[in-house]
């Protein structure tokens, strides 16, 4: 029962096979004129269809990768007849008849190439398959396969490198983007922190100011009391010294100071003629012949106090009125007072803040604050310390914010992939003379190999690659000025590599440098991305 069915199936299968063969043969027949074997010599595959029409051949020229037919048509048998018919040279791809013809070397096993057709049969082997010298004496060897093998090995190495670089590139992208995201999150967080801290700052500042008011008042009160006490003490001392002076001047001890007694004291020699004239003495005594203690203290002592005290021998002056500087007797003496080693006791009386060694001074030191004031100071101190703490915290956060904002402004590539390059830190390269250093997105420098100072070659400026490959070149600019020349600058050419590395540094023009820099960040394109542009290279 099943036999006839099997027969008919086989029959059908055979018929189908036959149909396929016929169809394939037809396709072959139709395509025959398009095969390389049938093409006139030297025609490139991209132009094959233009040579297959039966009948007339239309001359054409190339506009980029597009063939543009010309108005001139010729008989097909005039193609490659060693006579140039088309002004564009398209009828003589395989001879040297047209100066502008193009000869296509198939170079099987290697890379197909194009030659100007004048190089056809010129005795020089241009194509590795020797096809350009088909009618010359040149003995061309077909070394396309050997060359192809070498090229394939190189390509394979390149492919491995690009693949490896691309893998790292992908991690650079994801880590770079995560980094950026974290920075943005951090910025938001710090912004919120600042807002919160600012509120606390306001409150802590308010407390500080509040605590400082009673502190200030208590301190001022204490200081005013001390000042008053000191003034009182001083006045007493001045008075005491006056009384002592009176008794010293009253040499006969009769309770009166007379003109004669005054004359014994050379410090009253107003005109400095070496003696105290009675008029001079009298002038000091306010025109009196004699003066008693009460009038002396009231009228004379205030005017002679300084002169009298200054003229006293050092031992006697110790602890004298500290508020009053001595009046210099003449220019010489004035100069002497400048020399601290000469006679320290004749110098200006120590003030409250000076000469702590002076035993009398310690008596004048401000006494300790009372417990109540101390407590107020302590409370204000605490408030100040809390304030300083929060104030510093805010300053630190503001600094962090501005650092992050500045970093976010830097263009680390379309996927932030160059952030990893920056993170990697500075990279050095040493040539015969210099060690060059590149701190990505910061600064480039140079220092002589045998030591010496570092020269700044430039600071991070901008990406300056061509518009279709912007991130292939960086510019570091505004470096140290070159004597009689420009500010130094560096162009860093960036290409794909499995690590961040400077592979060369040069100075093409004085003080203008160029680094070749390899980085996985530049491995955005894969091997196939880079090798799919030229279809004629597929034959490799």
Handedness of CA 140, 146, 150, 153 (dihedral sign): positive
Question: Quick one: which of 70, 71, 89, 69 has its CA closest to 79?
Answer: 89
Return the number of the residue (54 or 484) whose C-beta is nearest ligand MAN: 484
Q: Does 454 participate in binding ligand MAN (rule CB under 6 A)?
A: no
Segment near ligand MAN (CB under 6 A); pick from 150-158, 422-430, 469-477, 504-512: 504-512
Return the number of the residue (435 or 455) whose C-beta is nearest ligand MAN: 455
Q: Does 96 participate in binding ligand MAN (rule CB under 6 A)?
A: no
**Min. distance of Cβ 36 from ligand MAN in angstroms?**
56
Overall size of the chain counted in residues: 540
**Min. distance of Cβ 511 from ligand MAN in angstroms?**
5
Q: Which of 1, 2, 367, 483 binds ligand MAN (CB under 6 A)?
A: 483
Q: Does 446 participate in binding ligand MAN (rule CB under 6 A)?
A: yes
Return the number of the residue (181 or 510) whose C-beta is nearest ligand MAN: 510
**Min. distance of Cβ 483 from ligand MAN in angstroms?**
5
Return the number of the residue (207 or 482) whose C-beta is nearest ligand MAN: 482
Q: Give the HSE-up count for residue 104: Cα atoms under 13 Å, Cβ half-sphere.
A: 18
Contact 489, 479 (CB under 8 A): yes
Separation of alpha carbons 198 and 147, rounded Å? 73
Greatest distance between any 2 Cα atoms in the chain = 175
Question: Quick one: which of 483, 479, 475 has its CA closest to 454?
Answer: 479
**Min. distance of Cβ 450 from ligand MAN in angstroms?**
13
Adjacent-strand bridge partners of 494: 517
Return the number of the residue (117 or 446) whose C-beta is nearest ligand MAN: 446
- Radius of gyration for the alpha carbons in the chain, expressed in angstroms and rounded: 53
Q: Give the HSE-up count for residue 473: Cα atoms under 13 Å, Cβ half-sphere.
A: 13
Residues 240-299, interacting with ligand MAN (CB under 6 A): none
Beta strands in 416-533 (DSSP E): 427-430, 434-439, 443-448, 455-463, 473-478, 489-496, 501-509, 512-519
**Min. distance of Cβ 480 from ligand MAN in angstroms?**
8
* 3-class state of residue 378 by DSSP: helix
Separation of alpha carbons 437 and 428, rounded Å? 4
Return the number of the residue (412 or 434) whose C-beta is nearest ligand MAN: 434
Q: How many residues bind to ligand MAN according to rule CB under 6 A?
A: 7
Q: Does 451 participate in binding ligand MAN (rule CB under 6 A)?
A: no
Q: Does 487 participate in binding ligand MAN (rule CB under 6 A)?
A: no
Return the number of the residue (446 or 519) whose C-beta is nearest ligand MAN: 446
**Min. distance of Cβ 449 from ligand MAN in angstroms?**
12
* Contact pattern from residue 404 through residue 433 relative to ligand MAN, giving x for each residue in contact according to CB under 6 A and a dash for the rest: ------------------------------
**Min. distance of Cβ 505 from ligand MAN in angstroms?**
10
Separation of alpha carbons 439 and 517, rounded Å? 12
Q: Which of 435, 455, 516, 526 binds ligand MAN (CB under 6 A)?
A: 455
Segment near ligand MAN (CB under 6 A); pick from 5-13, 48-56, 418-426, 506-514: 506-514
Q: What are phi and psi of 524, to 5 degrees?
A: -70, -30
Handedness of CA 234, 240, 241, 246 (dihedral sign): positive
Of the chain, the end-to-end C-alpha distance in Å amounts to: 57
Return the number of the residue (47 or 482) whose C-beta is nearest ligand MAN: 482
Q: Which of 482, 493, 514, 540 binds ligand MAN (CB under 6 A)?
A: 482
Contact 352, 223 (CB under 8 A): no
Separation of alpha carbons 540 and 526, rounded Å? 18
Q: Which two tokens stand for residue 13?
A: 């299968």
**Min. distance of Cβ 439 from ligand MAN in angstroms?**
17
Separation of alpha carbons 524 and 167, rounded Å? 9
Q: Which residues of 284-303 are buried (b: 16+ CB within 10 A; e: fewer)?
A: bbeebebbebebbbeebbee
Separation of alpha carbons 407 and 64, rounded Å? 44
Residues 507-536, interacting with ligand MAN (CB under 6 A): 507, 510-511
**Min. distance of Cβ 504 from ligand MAN in angstroms?**
15
Return the number of the residue (128 or 444) whose C-beta is nearest ligand MAN: 444
**Min. distance of Cβ 479 from ligand MAN in angstroms?**
9
Binding interface with ligand MAN (CB under 6 A):
446, 455, 482-483, 507, 510-511
């Amino acid at each position: 029962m099943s036999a006839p069915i099997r027969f008919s199936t086989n029959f059908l299968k055979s018929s189908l096979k036959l149909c396929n063969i016929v169809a394939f043969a037809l396709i072959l027949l139709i395509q025959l004129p398009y095969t390389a074997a049938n093409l006139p010599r030297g025609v490139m595959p991209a132009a094959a269809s233009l040579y297959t029409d039966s009948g007339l051949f239309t001359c054409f020229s190339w506009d980029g990768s597009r063939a543009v037919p010309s108005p001139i048509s010729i008989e097909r048998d005039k193609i490659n007849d060693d006579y140039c018919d088309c002004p564009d040279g398209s009828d003589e791809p395989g001879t040297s008849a047209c100066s502008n013809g193009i000869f296509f070397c198939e170079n099987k096993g290697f890379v197909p190439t194009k030659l100007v057709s004048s190089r056809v049969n010129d005795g020089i082997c241009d194509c590795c398959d020797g096809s350009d010298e088909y009618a010359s004496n040149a003995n061309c060897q077909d070394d396309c396969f050997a060359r192809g093998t070498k090229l394939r090995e190189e390509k394979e190495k390149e492919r491995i490198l690009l693949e490896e670089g691309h893998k790292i590139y992908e991690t650079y992208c994801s880590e770079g983007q995560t980094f950026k995201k974290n920075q943005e999150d951090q910025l938001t967080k710090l912004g919120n922190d600042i807002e919160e801290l600012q509120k606390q700052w306001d409150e802590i500042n308010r407390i500080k100011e509040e605590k400082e008011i009673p502190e200030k008042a208590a301190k001022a009160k204490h200081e005013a009391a001390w000042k008053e006490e000191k003034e009182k003490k001083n006045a007493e001392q001045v008075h005491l010294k006056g009384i002592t002076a009176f008794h010293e001047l009253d040499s006969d001890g009769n309770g009166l100071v007379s003109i004669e007694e005054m004359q014994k004291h050379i410090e009253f020699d107003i005109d400095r003629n070496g003696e105290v004239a009675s008029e001079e003495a009298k002038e000091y005594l306010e025109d009196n012949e004699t003066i008693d203690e009460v009038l002396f203290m009231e009228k004379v002592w205030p005017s002679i106090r300084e002169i009298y005290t200054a003229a006293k021998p050092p031992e006697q002056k110790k602890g004298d009125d500290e508020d009053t500087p001595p009046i210099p007797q003449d220019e010489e003496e004035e100069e002497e007072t400048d020399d601290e080693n000469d006679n320290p006791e004749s110098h200006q009386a120590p003030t409250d803040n000076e000469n702590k060694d002076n035993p009398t001074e310690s008596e004048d030191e401000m006494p300790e604050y009372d417990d109540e004031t101390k407590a107020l100071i302590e409370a204000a101190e605490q408030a100040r310390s809390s304030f300083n703490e929060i104030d510093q915290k805010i300053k630190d956060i503001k600094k962090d914010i501005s650092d992050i904002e500045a970093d976010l402004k830097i263009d680390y590539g379309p996927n932030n992939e160059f952030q990893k390059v920056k993170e990697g830190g500075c990279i050095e390269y040493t040539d015969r003379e210099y060690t060059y250093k590149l701190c990505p997105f910061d600064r480039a420098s140079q220092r002589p190999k045998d030591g010496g100072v570092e020269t700044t070659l430039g600071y991070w400026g901008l990406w300056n690659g061509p518009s279709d490959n912007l991130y292939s070149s960086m510019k570091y600019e505004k470096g140290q000025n070159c004597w009689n020349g420009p500010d130094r600058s560096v162009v860093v050419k960036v290409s794909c590599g499995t690590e961040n590395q400077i592979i060369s540094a040069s100075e093409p023009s004085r003080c203008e440098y160029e680094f070749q820099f390899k980085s996985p960040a530049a491995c955005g394109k894969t091997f196939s991305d880079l090798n799919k542009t030229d279809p004629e290279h597929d034959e490799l």
